[in-house]
Structure 1
């Protein structure tokens, strides 16, 4: 278990030596307030103070404080994926839900990216590891990140924060809190704006891109709350929030070049001198098309709590919420200055989520039982617009890959074949309805022995309407149709060249794989499909047995069943595998069933929670074993996204944590370690996605070791002043960042260090802080992927050399950033 929290110290004055103890840490992992040491779940509870000291603004920053947690983003900052113990879902395809759920103030967010952004003023964040199949909205198969923001209070106060930093960072936030109507109504208002220049210099080639930087930051957020407490038996909390982002993201430099001379030669020939080669951490990227992104996120939630004396003091809780989120992006889809494929930033490439949710819970307690029953409903509408257009250099690049015969072939076709500015214009409309009934009950069998039983029945129904279209109608695929008709002739042309049989096969694969890729296939022209094959009911839940040996030691055994609903691939699919069988195009057809199966997990855990040194030390640990069935895998092949299922994935290991209030005045130390063996036990039909020489069968983004160490020191100066220092580090051993486990996508072991040093008034009326994120400027990949239409790292056709032919690009981790922050309280 990895615990990261700085509670206030309590003092034990007995004896000659002062012992600094840790106050009770309260969490709501079982939807009621409990001491962390009494909860038979692995929970990382991170206080608002530690979040502030560590510079945590969003979920991605949270990784520094939580061993076993990795959060990455790819083609947009909104395409964010969280993984716990190596388990997570690649986020580029909006049809896949998250294995790690995000809940903010009791409201489930439908995708990790929808919850990405400034989290505002925080009370704490709880990271629950392992499947949570009972209490947190929709089921999650790997864990939950539960964000709890600060509520309004009846004490007036105002906070101002101003920050400047490198890369032109300029940030400011303001909050106002206090009573609005005596002791009945209180409000809290938070506003923030943050700007920063981009991390990358952009080589724009011939354009039309005008932006010279990429991965910048420019957003503002507003959050207003009202808390009504008209009496002791009722309270209501209304939360309204709005965030808008207008940024440029995300280009990706090259980390490995295609071994094919044809690929590199044609790129250089089309744009001489503009192919930068391999030096990713020079942070220069190639993009002739815009990567503008515009994001709007808004919502409202209302939480009502009634204390019902007629039911023995039971509490009825209602959480109603509405969310509306939209992302509009542009993309240079080939990540070069050669104009091959792109998506316009004109609103045509967009994803929209709307969600209406309602949760009801009734909870109470007797001498022997803490009980809870509830119901949950969510209606989610997803609209996805997915264009992919061919650039001005597409025909020349396509023909150039094959030399003189290929160029002659392309030139012989009508100009409308693979015409610039045209391509796929697909739209998807998905409706998801989910309802559930659940109960969670803790039964105190004796003073020391407690049994917790949780059960949930979930019904999930999804409907998808897809409209596939080529911008030129039937003529849009004329090149592909001619290509199919002339395939035998093309084979003869290749046969006359002085190349070997494997090279002939590779050339043939290139012709068909690019010219008749799904985005150029006339089979998809003006095709509308409707799917309603997903209507599944599933039981999930948990059983935990906890035994308190004494006041300092509690042990537990637990079993949990987790579930993540099936879904639909929101991309074009064809039956067969034309890319691997280019000589046999007959029988290739549109796949009218793009659904994929639900993901389930059986999880077993044994844990021990202990206190030492009169409460100055918390030492907790857990052994876990998680067996996943039909693990949902999303892979980009260099041409399209492929969703498949791995029949069995197993994650097993140990979580350990330590919190220590040292005898040294005002020094607190925390350390956590996660060891996880997360392995693919059965590849099934997904084997074609993986290369045979993969380094091992560990799942991507699954380091064996990860650990964090954080220390906070606060020293009074002259009675009225104080200085405060925080140093935190996160270590991860090596892991692969590509879902197909191409060895070139491996990230070496790394350590990220953050530091903050502050000086100010003891009453916190003012504070000045110098800080640095990634202090040592560690260079690392977030996600590595196959360059679009620049070869493949998937298994090649039979007879070809078993070597990858693709260029590899990567989305990089942030470089070192540093700055100065000033805080004022009134």
Structure 2
């Protein structure tokens, strides 16, 4: 069956599940949907009473649906898109199709991640596997009043389970295809009077999922996380919770599958004629999406060590609650691409060392005035230090075959210049006679160093006024100030011969030498800047009756500007990018029917981003600039239906048009001429839909439970469908992704303590592109359209056994 037919078949199945479920409703019964409590407004409130577009998954749902990471969550929340290319550290979040790739260490995304109320600047911080989680709340749309740190698209709030007074424990183990092994567990209970503790661990590993013809295979997993919590309750008015967590990852990461142009393939073939390359193999399969690569000698190793600490204090002063959230995190991440050129010959290695730390402090006062006014106010301070590069190790090293590649590129030019003089050509290109070539020689090195300090301060307040029993108004303001100080240093050591070759053969990547295309010579830059803004929101909420609530929101948000650090030859004056602002209008509803057996919530929204911070891949690095205006308009709804005591159905649909209303400095895909003679490699993308932004996304799931023996049998099928879109930041028309659908299935039997299940993720083995981009090196050298793709994991099937003590 073709992928397109497979997608339509699965979508039809998803729709039929919902229709069949609705047709089976009994006229009466005692079933009712359990109330879900969220902290969206930094208060404990029922989901159906919150006038914010929010989706949530809790412990019970995550367990029965087999949710093990944030990407699994996105299958049930189509407004959220989670994608990973080279490592979990680079996971990126998009909300309502707004977001950017996660490969830019100094670039904070539009969708914020909060763990137990503490902001995390990187998606890979603090979270290993999702184990021992109380709930995950996905807030859609700008949230710039109560959550002020760069949340112009939305946020993900993860709440972990707190220690318990009574003893409880759990052990869980899973085995699956590709030698998948997962172990999880926790233990919790009282340690002394009014002192409770909880310890949680997880470990996941599997073998490589990508076959490499010339070296080590890629896309492994080896991740371990540990989290300890302590709760102290000295009095009825005071509670202190301390959390310490650690994550360690060490494996060969996911890499791009390159598809080289005919020009690049000819260059490789020419290079392989030279005697120095003795063990190079032909390209294994010059085709995307087959999980096969030909990297020499190895792929990419990834190592992460990260730690976090969170201290939360709740103290009642009369009827007012004082909350303090103190947070600290640090990390050290090394990604080493031994074959950065993604080729079967040894051309270039790239070692990317990043490290950093951050601390934050928030104080909040929450209270009520009379019977009609609720209020919250607070201050927020945040500091982040980021470093990339080292003093004692070069980031770029030219490989043993770089000269042969240079010869292969230079040969046609020299033949033209020397005419029909075979003796001269033979001497200049002969083995053992290293001529001046345009790419450098083996051992040439390049160094770069980045450091950035970010300081943020915010003060905020919000109140809710109950005008009548059915009508209320919420309004809030926030003042934000952010300051950034940065350092950029780059240098390289190119052979003198490489420099001498430049007049004869100037490469777009390498003029005058190979590393000159990646690093500006002896560049030292120390920018600093600051931004501030007043943001806010106004919401009117009206309860039509006990089962229907409607609301309307106006909101204004802000995200600070920054600098393009990293490496590259971009002139320093072009490296800053401006702040981003956002204005949104939203109308939403929360409804329940059939004695609260059916809930349907949704919203219609229009959002405008001014100076939207847009990122595009430039070959080994990213460039951020500002799109003058982005428009984002859509409708979304989700629902849960208890068909009977045994059957429940959930469903969600998201339709969004996200487009560049004006973007005159977009990146040109290879082969497209710039629209302006004064702006090289810049194209006008005005009127184009954003990359990674399908108009349609939908999901549906059906769950069945029934008594069996001493326990209960259960089964669940989830299907997600994604419409056609272009997953390349430069909108290369070759990379249009057709619509696709994928599904998960789980069958299990459980008692009060034991749960045994058989599951399959992506059970139809659907393959789709997460991201397309120019390939790391040859697209810049040959300018002939070589590119790479990152793809989802293939089908994984396994067994899980869980025991609760």
Q: Shared fold by TM > 0.5?
A: yes
**Structure 2 residue 734 is the aligned partner of structure 1 residue 754:** no
2:627 aligned to 646, 669, 673, which one? Answer: 646
Q: Which of 213, 225, 228 is the equivalent residue of 1:203? A: 213
Counterparts in 2 of 1:691 and 1:556: CA distance versus 1, 3 Å: farther
Superposed CA offset, 1:140-165 (max 9, x none): 11110000111111121111101111
Preserved contact between residue 437 and residue 501 of structure 2 (Cα < 8 Å): no
Q: Confirm whether residue 335 of structure 1 aligns to residue 339 of structure 2.
A: no
Structure 2 equivalent of residue 433 of structure 1:
455
- The yes-or-no answer on 1:317 pairing with 2:323 is yes
User: SS at 2:61's partner residue?
Assistant: helix
Q: Give the structure 2 partner of residue 519 of structure 1.
A: 515
8 A contact 1:518–1:574 mirrored in 2:
no
2:365 paired with 1:362: yes
Tell me if structure 2 keeps the 8 A contact 1:214–1:251.
Answer: yes
**In structure 2, C-alpha distance between the alignment counterparts of 1:194 and 1:731, rounded to whole Å:** 27
From 693, 696, 702, the equivalent of 1:711 is 702
Partner of 2:401: 393
Separation in structure 1 between the aligned mates of residue 129 and residue 405 of structure 2, nearest angstrom: 42
Q: Secondary structure at the match of 1:627?
A: strand
Q: Distance in 1 between matches of 2:291 and 2:153?
A: 34
Map 1:404-443 to 2 at 5 A. 404-406=412-414, 413-414=435-436, 418-443=440-465
RMSD: 2.5
Q: Is the 8 A contact 2:126 2:245 kept in 1?
A: no
Q: Is the 8 A contact 1:714 1:724 kept in 2?
A: yes
1:773 and 2:761 matched:
yes
2:552 paired with 1:549: no
Residue 556 (structure 2) aligns with:
561
Which aligned pairs between 1:646-665 and structure 2 lie closer than 5 A?
Answer: 646-662=627-643, 664-665=644-645
Q: Does 1:374 align with 2:384?
A: no
* Structure 1 residues 552-599: Cα deviation after superposition (integer angstroms, max 9, x where no partner): 111111011122221111233546xxxxxxxxxxxxxx4256221112
Q: Helix, strand or coil for the counterpart of 1:680?
A: strand
Cα offsets for 1:512-549 (capped at 9, x unmatched): 433447832698333322111x2111111211111111
CA displacement at 1:323 relative to structure 2: 0.2
Residue 821 of structure 1: SS of its match in structure 2? strand
- Out of 677, 680, 685, the residue aligned to residue 660 of structure 2 is 680
Alignment of 1:280 onto 2:288: yes
**Is the Cα–Cα contact under 8 Å of residues 353 and 382 in structure 1 kept in the other structure?**
yes
Gaps of 5+ in 2: 1-25, 416-424, 674-684
Alignment-derived partner of residue 227 in structure 2: 223
Higher mean C-alpha displacement, 699-708 vs 128-137: 128-137
Structure 1 segments unaligned to the other structure (5+ residues) = 1-14, 491-507, 576-589, 797-803
Q: Which residue of 2 aligns with 1:494?
A: none
Task: Tell me if structure 1 keeps the 8 A contact 2:589–2:601.
Answer: yes
Q: Which moved more, 1:534-543 or 1:368-377?
A: 534-543
Compute the displacement of 1:275 (Å). 0.8
Return the offset for 1:64: 0.9
Corresponding residue for residue 125 of structure 2? 114
Deviation at 1:247, TM superposition (A): 0.8
Asked whether the equivalents of residues 406 and 439 of structure 2 are also in contact (C-alpha less than 8 Å), the reply is: no
Distance of 1:538 and 1:573 partners within structure 2 = 31
Distance 2:691 2:755 in 1: 42
Separation of aligned partners in 2, 1:646 and 1:696: 12
Q: How much does 1:227 deviate? A: 1.1
- What is the CA deviation profile of residues 691-719 of structure 1, one whole-angstrom value per residue up to 9, with x for unaligned ones? 7599981111100000111122221224x
Quick one: which of 218, 230, 241 aligns to 1:214? 218
Task: Render the CA deviation track for 1:181-214: whole Å, top value 9, x for unaligned.
Answer: 13x111111112222111111122xxxx5xx321
Counterparts in 2 of 1:807 and 1:690: CA distance versus 1, 3 Å? closer
Residue 402 of structure 2 contacts residue 439 of structure 2 at CA under 8 Å; is this kept in 1? Answer: no
Confirm whether residue 810 of structure 1 aligns to residue 798 of structure 2: no
Question: Which secondary structure does the structure 1 equivalent of 2:771 belong to?
Answer: strand
1:214-273 per-residue CA deviation (whole Å, 9 max, x = no partner) reads 111112111111111222211111111111111111222235645666446446656764
Q: Hey, what does 2:616 align to over in structure 1?
A: 635
Matched-pair contact (CA < 8 Å) for 1:326–1:350: yes
Q: 2: distance between equivalents of 1:93 and 1:121?
A: 30
Equivalent residue pairs, number: 744
Mapping for residues 26-37 of structure 1, pairs under 5 Å: 26-37=37-48
Secondary structure class of the residue paired with 1:736: coil
- Residue of structure 1 in register with 2:237 after alignment: 233
1:579: which partner in 2?
A: none
2:420 corresponding residue in structure 1: none
Alignment of 1:461-540 (within 5 A): 461-470=483-492, 472=493, 476=494, 478=496, 481-484=499-502, 486=503, 511-516=507-512, 519-520=515-516, 524-532=520-528, 534-540=529-535
Q: 3-state SS of the aligned residue for 1:61? A: helix
User: How far 1:432 moved relative to its partner?
Assistant: 0.5
How far did 1:106 drift?
Answer: 0.7
- Asked whether the 8 Å contact 2:446–2:519 carries over to 1, the reply is no
The corresponding residue for 1:820 is 799
Tell me, yes or no, if structure 1 residue 194 matches structure 2 residue 204: yes
- Contact 2:406 / 2:440 at 8 angstroms: preserved in 1? no
- Preserved contact between residue 660 and residue 687 of structure 2 (Cα < 8 Å): no
**Structure 1, residues 62-91: CA drift from partner, whole Å, max 9, x if none?**
211111211111222311111111100221
> Where does residue 578 of structure 1 map in the other structure?
none
Q: Which residue of 1 aligns with 2:304?
A: 295
Choose the corresponding residue for 2:172, options 128, 138, 161.
161
What is the TM-score with the length of structure 1 in the denominator?
0.86
Q: Which residues of 2 match residues 83-94 of structure 1 at below 5 A? A: 83-94=94-105
Normalised to the residue count of structure 2, the TM-score between the two structures is: 0.88
Show the counterpart of 1:586. Answer: none
CA distance in 2, matches of 1:359, 1:444: 27
Are the structure 2 counterparts of residues 530 and 727 from structure 1 closer, same or farther at C-alpha, using a change threshold of 3 Å? same
**Inter-partner Cα distance in structure 2 for 1:523 and 1:554:** 57
Q: Distance in 2 between matches of 1:96 and 1:106?
A: 21
Conserved? CA contact 2:439–2:514, under 8 Å: no
